[in-house]
Amino acid sequence: MNVDRRREILLPEGAPDPGTFTQIVSAGDATGDGQADFFVTVGDALWVLTGYNGATVDRATRLSAASWANRDVVTVQDITGDGVTDLLYRTDETGRLLLRGGIKAASGGVDFASLATAAGSAGGGDTQYGASGWSSGAVPFILGTPDANGDSVPDIWAVQAGGSVRFHAGSRTALSGNDTEVVGAATWWKTRQAVG
């Protein structure tokens, strides 16, 4: 990648300093206005940047001020199949993947408040998506992608501590253990910045 050609994005007033971002994940168009949205972690906080038009972001909203230092956003897409964006994350406290269901906003798209807290989400709580073995020690790098195997459900790519890459076929409710090693163990992968 030629870093000289990276595009600069103008952030709105009140947005966190990009230098403090610990993670940024595209949520596609979660609000339904035709513009891309991004989820960002900044230390313990979770933010959403909405209305990216290629040069500027309209709004930066802090969804949560706590708990995100020990979490990684895996994917922000509709997993449950109701057409409303959901939030899938990894928590290092228990080494699990947890799914937070989004609730549709009156204006269309997702109501971000439903992704801010477990209690406010669809169903009133996060549900277990990956039962164990998902700590950052076991899986140093994890990435959710749009559907890759043709079943319309978003999928997950995971770089294991040993350097192999596994493809986990996504499910609407919880991972079924349908996973495949797609790249054998190679220390090379551990130093990559991206996969997918």
Query: Residue 1 CB, nearest distance to Ca ion (Å)?
Result: 27
Closer Cβ to Ca ion, 52 or 157, answer by number: 157
Name the H helices within the chain: 113-116
Kindly state the DSSP code that residue 170 receives in the 8-state scheme. Answer: -
Work out whether 111 is an interface residue with Ca ion (CB under 5 A): no
**Integer CA distances (angstroms), 54 to 11, 49, 110, in order:** 11, 13, 21
Stretch that binds Ca ion, among 66-74, 111-119, 130-138, 166-174 (CB under 5 A): 166-174
Q: Show the tokens assigned to 107.
A: 């204006």
Closer Cβ to Ca ion, 60 or 114, answer by number: 114
Beta carbons within 10 angstroms of residue 80's beta carbon = 18
Q: Rounded to 5 degrees, what angle do the CA atoms 183, 164, 88 make?
A: 100
Stretch that binds Ca ion, among 14-22, 76-84, 88-96, 128-136 (CB under 5 A): 76-84
Work out whether 86 is an interface residue with Ca ion (CB under 5 A): yes
Contacts to Ca ion by CB under 5 A: 78, 80, 82, 84, 86, 147, 149, 151, 153, 155, 170
